Structure 1
Amino acid sequence: MSTNPGNTFESAPLVNISNVLREFENNLGPSSRNDWFKFRTNRNRSFFYADLYNLQANVDLVLFNRNRQVVARSIRKGTQVELIRLGANDDQSPRRPPLPPGVYYMRVFTRGRRPTSYTLRMASARAPRTIDDPEPPPNGGGGGIGGQNSVLVRDINPGELSALALRTDFVVLNDELYFSADDGRNGRELWRSDGTSAGTQLVVDINRGAESSNPTNLTVFNNFIYFSADDGTGEGIELWRTDGTRNGTQLVADINRGQDSSSPSSFAVVGDTLYFAADDGRTGRELWRVTENNQVSQVADINRGTGSSSPNWLVEFDNALYFSASDGRDGVELWRSNGTIAGTVQVADLNPGDLSSSPSELTVVGDRLYFAADDGRDGRELWRLDSVSNSNRPVLAVDLNPGQVGSNPTDLIEFDNRLYFAADDGRDGRELWRSDGTTISTRLVADINTNFDEGSSPAQFAVVNDRLYFAADDGRGDGRELWRSDGTAGGTTQVDDIGGDQGSNPSSLIGIDDVLYFVANDGTRGLELWRFNT
Structure 2
Amino acid sequence: MPPQNRIHLSYIKTMNHSITFPGAKALTSLAIALMLAACGGGGGSDDVAGGGNEPAPPAPPSGTTHTLTVQVQGLPEGAALPIRYGDLSESLSASNDRLAIQASGTTRIALGKLELTTEQPYLVQCAFAEPLAGTLQSDGSLQASFSTDATQTVECSQKIALVLQQRHVVAPANKGSGLNVLTANLDGLQAQWLSPPLMVNKNTINNRVSALMNNELYVSASEDDINSPTGVELRATDGVTARLVKDINTAVNAGVGAGSDPGSLVALGNKLYFSAEAGPGGTTLWVSDGTEAGTQQVLLQGNAFINPEGLTVAGDKLFFRSQAKVYAIDKSGTVTDLGLTQTAGSFSVVGDRIFLTDDTGSQWFSDGTVAGTREFQAAWFNSAPIEFNGELYFSGAATSGETAKLHAIKPDGTGFRLVKDVIRVSPRFVLGDKLLLTVNQRGVTGSEWWVSDGTEAGTQIIKDAIPGPGGLAPEKIFSLGERLVFVTKEGEAGSQAPYYIWTTDGTAEGTKRLSAEGVEAFATKNIFKGWTQVGPGHAVFQIHEGGLNSNVAKLWITDGTPEGTKPLLDKNGQQLEAYSPGTQYAL
Shift of 1:216: 4.5
On the 8 A contact 1:155/1:529 being kept in 2, the answer is no
Matching residue within 246, 261, 276 for 1:230 = 276
Q: Which residue of 2 aligns with 1:488?
A: 507
> Which letter does structure 2 place at the counterpart of 1:286?
K
Query: Is 1:439 the counterpart of 2:463 in the alignment?
Result: no
Counterpart residue type for residue 483 of structure 2: R
Question: What is the alpha-carbon root mean square deviation over aligned residues?
Answer: 4.7
8 Å CA contact retained: 1:190, 1:203: yes
| Residue 263 to residue 158, structure 1, CA distance change in 2 (3 Å) | closer
**What is the alpha-carbon distance in structure 2 between the residues aligned to residue 192 and residue 257 of structure 1?**
28
Q: Is the Cα contact below 8 Å between 2:382 and 2:404 reproduced in 1?
A: no
Contact 1:382 1:398 in 2 (8 A): yes
Partners of 2:259 and 2:417 lie apart in 1 by 44
Q: Which of 400, 403, 412 matches 2:422?
A: 400
On the 8 A contact 2:499/2:522 being kept in 1, the answer is no
Q: Deviations over 1:468-510 (max 9, x none)?
A: 2223222578723433222223323225749834575256743
Q: Is the 8 A contact 1:309 1:325 kept in 2?
A: no
| Alpha carbons 1:162, 1:528 under 8 Å: kept | no
Higher RCO (CA < 8 A, seq sep 6+): 1
1:532 aligns with 2:564: no
From 351, 371, 374, give the equivalent of 1:345.
374
Matched, 1:262 2:285: no
Could you state the TM-score of these two structures normalised by the residue count of structure 2? 0.48
CA distance in 2, matches of 1:372, 1:188: 43
Structure 1 window deviating more from structure 2 (181-190 vs 336-345): it is 181-190
1:19-98 alignment runs, 5 A limit: none
Separation in structure 1 between the aligned mates of residue 450 and residue 302 of structure 2, nearest angstrom: 42
Is 1:288 the counterpart of 2:307? The answer is no
- Does 2:355 correspond to 1:315? no
Which residue of structure 2 aligns with residue 72 of structure 1? none
Instruction: Please report how far the alpha carbon of residue 264 of structure 1 lies from its aligned counterpart in structure 2 after TM superposition.
Output: 3.1
Distance 1:478 1:200 in 2: 41
C-alpha change, 1:500 and 1:311, in structure 2 (3 Å) is: closer
Match of 1:173 among 202, 206, 213: 213
Relative to structure 1, the CA distance from residue 370 to residue 253 in structure 2 (aligned partners, 3 Å threshold; closer, same or farther) is: farther
Paired position in structure 1 for 2:522: 500
Unaligned runs of 5+ in 2: 1-186, 251-255, 565-587
Cα contact 2:392–2:408 (8 A) shared by 1:
yes
Letter in 1 for 2:392: L
SS at the partner of 2:328? strand
Seen in structure 2, the aligned counterparts of structure 1 residues 423 and 290 have a Cα distance that, compared at 3 Å, is same
**Given the alignment, which residue of 274, 277, 287 partners 1:241?**
287
8 A contact 2:207–2:264 mirrored in 1? no
Post-superposition offset of 1:233: 1.2
- SS of structure 2 residue aligned to 1:265: strand
Give the letter for the 2:522 counterpart.
G
Q: Counterpart of 1:416?
A: 432
Q: TM-score, normalised by structure 1?
A: 0.52
- Is it true that 1:276 corresponds to 2:320 in the alignment? yes
**CA distance, structure 2, for counterparts of residue 190 and residue 449 of structure 1:** 46
Amino acid at match of 1:474: E
Contact 2:474 2:488 in 1 (8 A): yes
Residues 201-241 of structure 1: CA deviation (Å, up to 9, x unaligned): 887675676767554444332322323x2235134332223
> Residues 378, 463 of structure 1: CA spacing in aligned structure 2 closer, same or farther, 3 A cutoff?
same
Counterpart of 1:370 in structure 2 is: 393
Q: Deviations over 1:409-452 (max 9, x none)?
A: 26x222223222334122222233332333332233354444x3
Please give the alpha-carbon distance, in whole angstroms, between the structure 2 residues aligned to 1:380 and 1:188.
Answer: 46
Count of aligned pairs between the two proteins: 350
Contact 1:153 1:529 in 2 (8 A): no
Letter aligned with residue 432 of structure 1: W
- Which ranges of structure 1 fall in alignment gaps of 5 or more residues? 1-147, 280-284, 352-356
Distance 2:248 2:540 in 1: 24
- The match for 2:23 is none
Contact 2:450 2:460 in 1 (8 A): yes
**Aligned ranges 1:3-22 → 2 under 5 Å:** none
Match of 1:479 in 2: 498
Equivalent residue, structure 2, for 1:336: 365
Q: Is the 8 A contact 2:308 2:320 kept in 1?
A: no
Distance 1:447 1:151 in 2: 40
2:356 is equivalent to residue 324 of structure 1: yes
Q: Would the aligned equivalents of 2:396 and 2:405 in 1 still touch at CA under 8 Å? A: yes
- Structure-2 residue corresponding to 1:386: 410
Assess, with a 3 A threshold, how the Cα gap between structure 1 residues 435 and 253 changes in structure 2: closer, same or farther: farther
